[in-house]
Amino acid sequence: MNMFTLVLRNISRRKGRFIFTLLGIVIGMAAFVALLSLGGGMRAEINDQARAMGANIIVTPADWCTFDQISIFTGESLPASLQEEVLDQVRELDGIFAVPYLTQMSAIQNVPVAVIGIDPEPMKEFSRWEIADGQYFESSEQHGAVLGAATAETFDLGVGDEVRFRGEVFPVIGVLESVGSIDDIAVYLPLPVAQVAFEQEGFISYIGVQVEHLDQTDAYVAAILDVANVAVNTNDQLLETVMGMLGSIEVTLQAIAGISLIAAAFGIINTMMTAIYERRREIGILRSIGSTRADIFKIFLLESGLYGLLGGILGSVVGVLISVFAAPTLLASFDQMMKGASPEASIEPMTFVFAIVFAIVIAVASGIYPAWKAAGLSPVEAISYE
């Protein structure tokens, strides 16, 4: 009988204990893998949203806090405290293509919806919009609304229908093609029309900027700061802020999953210590027929490692299943925060490998003390144990 066969036989000797000890690792690893997969999905979604926005630089009022900056990506309403003159000052700079946004909130069928005032022609070019149905704005004074694709579908609205904001009725003149970003979940009005409706004449929320030479972004940022008292962030900086927030949430959740793994590790220690007491005589016999302390140490360490291997594999599979099938429920809050987002679990092969290796490491580390205790047993005392 070789060592591996011995280990397998020992582990499966008490099936109930084996299953419950294994469950501890499986649950801990499942939680860990599920959180890794879901976190990866959320990061990918935020990245996609930021890229789809099309802006290299965001110009905001100088006094905006982090919440306001993040709200650019999450579709929340934004303060309208940037004077429209700033837009003219920014547009005068060379190599810059700037569009204004006035982001307000209203409701359709009692569901909050973002209403965004835009400069129609530049915005269409900036965001590379296409019209799916109806037509686009013919002028910046046109009293009508263009809907994002998801808005039209959610509320079953189309060309010829009407929407009401701030007591005014706006006919729906067009519906945009889906672009896979928060652009899909908004209603668009020409900026002057939105400013009048929401009593924000002369003000906008922020400015999106595309630059001609991406490698000179810092120079453009400096140029904008020279002409206006504003805050300027590159798209990457804003993304970093959002990812930073997400990161701290992820770390917290993974710490909680880590605690369950620590509990599982103590379960393994407990199981192995119990096994040592039950198998004292067996250990004594093995020592007496020539097994060394190192052999005994290896046997018990292998048993622990096997728990880790099996628990890691099963836990990873369960974790992936949880993240795939439970993602819509578990990420409902993320959907509410990032309106229009539809994150999916991000399953990387390396996640599997990492999870299995991590489980084995924890299990082996848990088994070191019991293995050491087992190897330290005196053969005479062990063999005479009843």
Residues 76, 119, 183, 303: which binds another protein (CB under 8 A)? 76
Alpha-carbon span 314 to 328, nearest angstrom: 23
Alpha-carbon span 331 to 309, nearest angstrom: 29
Q: Which residues contact 314 (CB under 8 A, 6 or more apart)?
A: 22, 26, 29
The pattern of x and - marking residues 78 through 107 that bind another protein according to CB under 8 A reads -x------------------------xxxx
Q: Does 77 bind another protein (CB under 8 A)?
A: yes
- For residue 112, give both structure tokens: 């909050």
Q: Does 9 bind another protein (CB under 8 A)?
A: no
Number of residues that bind another protein (CB under 8 A): 27
User: In b/e form, how buried is each residue of 185-210, taking b as 16+ CB within 10 angstroms?
Assistant: bbbbbbbbbbbbbbebeebbbbbbbb
Number of separate helices (H) and strands (E) present in the chain: 14, 12
Of the candidates 51, 57, 53, the one whose C-alpha atom is nearest the C-alpha of residue 218 is 57
> CB atoms < 10 A from the CB of 1, how many?
6
Q: How far is the CB of 68 from another protein (least distance, A)?
A: 8
Residues 9, 95, 112, 380: which binds another protein (CB under 8 A)? 112
Q: Does 165 bind another protein (CB under 8 A)?
A: yes
For another protein, the binding residues in 208-237 under the rule CB under 8 A are none
Q: How far is the CB of 308 from another protein (least distance, A)?
A: 21
Q: C-alpha distances in angstroms, 254 versus 32, 38, 156, 317, 367? A: 6, 11, 40, 17, 23
**Contact range with another protein by CB under 8 A, out of 59-67, 215-223, 224-232, 286-294:** 59-67
Residues 65, 289, 294, 350: which binds another protein (CB under 8 A)? 65
Alpha-carbon span 283 to 281, nearest angstrom: 5
Inter-residue contact 117 to 104 (CB < 8 Å): yes
For tokens 């959610």, the residue is 154
Give 200 or 210: the residue with its C-beta nearer to another protein: 200
Give 232 or 327: the residue with its C-beta nearer to another protein: 327
If DSSP codes are grouped into helix, strand and coil, which group holds residue 217? helix
Give 164 or 281: the residue with its C-beta nearer to another protein: 164
Alpha-carbon span 263 to 72, nearest angstrom: 41
Give 103 or 142: the residue with its C-beta nearer to another protein: 103
Residues 18, 101, 129, 198: which binds another protein (CB under 8 A)? 198
**Contact range with another protein by CB under 8 A, out of 65-73, 153-161, 223-231, 247-255:** 65-73
**Contact range with another protein by CB under 8 A, out of 108-116, 213-221, 271-279, 346-354:** 108-116
Alpha-carbon span 368 to 379, nearest angstrom: 20
Give 198 or 300: the residue with its C-beta nearer to another protein: 198
Q: How far is the CB of 269 from another protein (least distance, A)?
A: 21
- For residue 377, give both structure tokens: 């047993």
Q: How far is the CB of 208 from another protein (least distance, A)?
A: 20
Where helices occur in 92-199 by DSSP H, the ranges are 120-127, 149-154, 191-197
Q: Does 170 bind another protein (CB under 8 A)?
A: no
Give 71 or 127: the residue with its C-beta nearer to another protein: 71
For another protein, the binding residues in 326-345 under the rule CB under 8 A are 326, 329-330, 332-333, 336
Radius of gyration of the chain (CA): 31
Residues 67, 92, 141, 244: which binds another protein (CB under 8 A)? 67
Q: How far is the CB of 330 from another protein (least distance, A)?
A: 6
- For residue 199, give both structure tokens: 């009593």
Give 27 or 382: the residue with its C-beta nearer to another protein: 27
Q: Does 248 bind another protein (CB under 8 A)?
A: no
The binding site for another protein (CB under 8 A) comprises: 16, 65-68, 76-77, 79, 104-108, 110, 112, 115, 164-167, 198, 326, 329-330, 332-333, 336
